[in-house]
């Protein structure tokens, strides 16, 4: 091996290089448990100091004062209205989102004390999505919209919030997202009930990768939508780890009407034998004729007929007669 290395060095450098002496491995003395504990404590202290510095570096901070309502400005002990401020008030820090920038709102609740020395009245605390939470409803709405509507991964959103002056970690953001989902569960459930009560419902499912322990797995995002008589679209989502008909059954089971879907058999549970009338999709039918064009030019005739149907539909929509009989 040394001869081959020497030959390679002569080819590269034109002459034989001096053989370097072997390098002795320098053994690092093992640290004692006390030293390890001290190092971990110092690291934890540094981390806490960095987090405190980030919280103190919020770009915008303002106070929002809350006064005791007029009907409550009486001593709960003696009923007297001779109340006076008790200190600077109760302070609560809440991170809230306002358009184009973030701010740290310091809510100051007025505290009044009676001259009798026995009664204290405090202004109501500001409403919060999560009890004792330090993030306002506007910020939570921004997180949900960024994740669901803008497909922003939470770790990138955490970085964006940090740049905006809001101290945030990925784990905290994940907790806030799940807490928001729990708070909005009644609303999402009601939305799916409204869609299921419609005469015509469209549905489809989309595969997506879901994080698992040291790997990912496949999940499915089911979409159910309908159009109101006023023309507004109602869109509801349901996630599942499988593609079986369990999800359509949970959302649409036992409801009458028409269901516009593709040929997937998972929707049979809500259409057979007694259920919604299954309606095919012309876009899926046209796709088959389009694929057949290279070997079957006569498929163009069917595509032209479908095009005429699309034109009639567009004319009906422009005339405002869609959905009428």
Please say whether the beta carbons of 157 and 143 come within 8 A.
yes
Adjacent-strand bridge partners of 207: 220
Distance, in Å, from the CA atom of 228 to the CA atom of 178, rounded to the nearest integer, reads 30
Using CB atoms within 10 Å of the CB of residue 166, give its burial: 0 to 12 exposed, 13 to 18 middle, 19+ buried.
Answer: buried
pTM: 0.64
Closest CA to 81 of 124, 118, 114: 114
Distance, in Å, from the CA atom of 282 to the CA atom of 309, rounded to the nearest integer, reads 9
Predicted local confidence at residue 1, as pLDDT: 52
Q: What is the 8-class DSSP label of residue 31?
A: P
Distance, in Å, from the CA atom of 74 to the CA atom of 114, rounded to the nearest integer, reads 8
Cis? peptide before 273, omega within 30° of 0: yes
Q: Are strands 101-109 and 111-114 parallel, antiparallel or unpaired?
A: unpaired
Closest CA to 265 of 219, 218, 205: 205
Cα–Cα distance list, 271 to 78, 245, 260, 262, 283 (Å): 69, 11, 11, 13, 20
The 3-state DSSP class for residue 299 equals helix
Sheet strand arrangement including 83-85: 83-85, 111-114, 120-122
Sheet strand arrangement including 101-109: 61-66, 101-109, 90-98
Distance, in Å, from the CA atom of 318 to the CA atom of 74, rounded to the nearest integer, reads 63
Domain boundaries, the chain: 59-184, 185-319
Q: Are strands 277-279 and 258-260 parallel, antiparallel or unpaired?
A: parallel
Adjacent-strand bridge partners of 103: 96
Q: How many CB atoms lie within 10 A of CB 252?
A: 23
Predicted local confidence at residue 325, as pLDDT: 53
User: What angle separates helix 170-196 from helix 137-144, to the nearest 10 degrees?
Assistant: 80
To the nearest 10°, report the CA torsion of 44, 47, 51, 56: 100
Q: Which residues of 221-237 are buried (b: 16+ CB within 10 A; e: fewer)?
A: ebebbbeeeeeeeeebe
Q: What is the pLDDT along the chain (325 residues), one digit of tens a residue?
A: 556 555 555 554 554 444 444 434 444 444 456 766 777 787 788 888 887 777 666 657 889 999 999 999 999 999 999 999 999 899 988 888 777 788 889 999 999 999 999 999 999 988 888 887 888 899 999 999 999 888 899 999 999 998 888 888 999 999 999 999 999 999 999 999 999 999 999 999 999 888 888 888 999 999 999 999 888 899 999 999 999 999 999 999 999 999 999 889 999 999 988 899 999 888 888 999 999 999 999 999 999 999 999 999 888 888 878 766 5
Q: Which residues contact 205 (CB under 8 A, 6 or more apart)?
A: 220, 221, 222, 223, 243, 247, 264, 266
Predicted local confidence at residue 24, as pLDDT: 41
How far does CA 107 lie from the centroid of its chain?
27
Closest CA to 173 of 218, 193, 143: 143
């Amino acid at each position: 091996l040394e001869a081959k290395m020497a030959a390679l060095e002569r080819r590269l450098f034109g002459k034989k290089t001096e053989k370097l002496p072997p390098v002795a491995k320098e053994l690092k003395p093992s640290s004692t448990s006390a030293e390890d504990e001290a190092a971990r404590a110092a690291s934890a202290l540094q981390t806490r100091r960095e987090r405190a510095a980030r919280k103190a570096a919020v770009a915008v901070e303002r106070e929002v004062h809350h006064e005791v309502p007029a009907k409550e400005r009486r001593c709960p002990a003696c009923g007297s209205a001779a109340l006076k401020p008790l200190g600077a008030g109760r302070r609560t820090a809440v991170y809230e989102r306002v358009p184009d920038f973030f701010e740290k709102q310091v809510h100051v609740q007025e505290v009044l004390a009676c001259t009798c020395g026995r009664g204290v009245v405090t202004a109501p605390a500001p409403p919060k999505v999560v009890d004792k939470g330090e993030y306002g409803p506007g910020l939570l709405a921004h997180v949900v919209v960024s994740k669901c509507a803008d497909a922003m991964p939470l770790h990138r959103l955490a970085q964006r919030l940090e740049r905006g002056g809001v101290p945030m970690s990925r784990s905290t953001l994940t907790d806030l997202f799940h807490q928001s989902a729990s708070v909005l569960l009644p609303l999402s459930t009601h939305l799916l009930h409204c869609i299921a009560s419609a005469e015509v419902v469209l549905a489809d499912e989309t595969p997506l990768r879901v994080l698992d322990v040291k790997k990912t797995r496949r999940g499915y995002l089911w979409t159910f939508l309908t159009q109101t008589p006023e023309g507004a679209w109602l869109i509801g989502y349901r996630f599942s780890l499988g593609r079986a008909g369990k999800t359509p059954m949970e959302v649409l089971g036992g409801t009458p009407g028409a269901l516009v879907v593709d040929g997937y058999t998972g929707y049979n549970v809500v259409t057979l034998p007694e259920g919604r009338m299954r309606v095919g999709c012309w876009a899926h039918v046209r796709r088959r004729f389009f694929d057949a064009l290279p070997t079957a030019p006569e498929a163009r005739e069917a595509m032209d007929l479908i095009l005429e149907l699309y034109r009639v539909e567009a004319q009906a929509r422009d005339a405002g007669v869609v959905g009428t009989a």
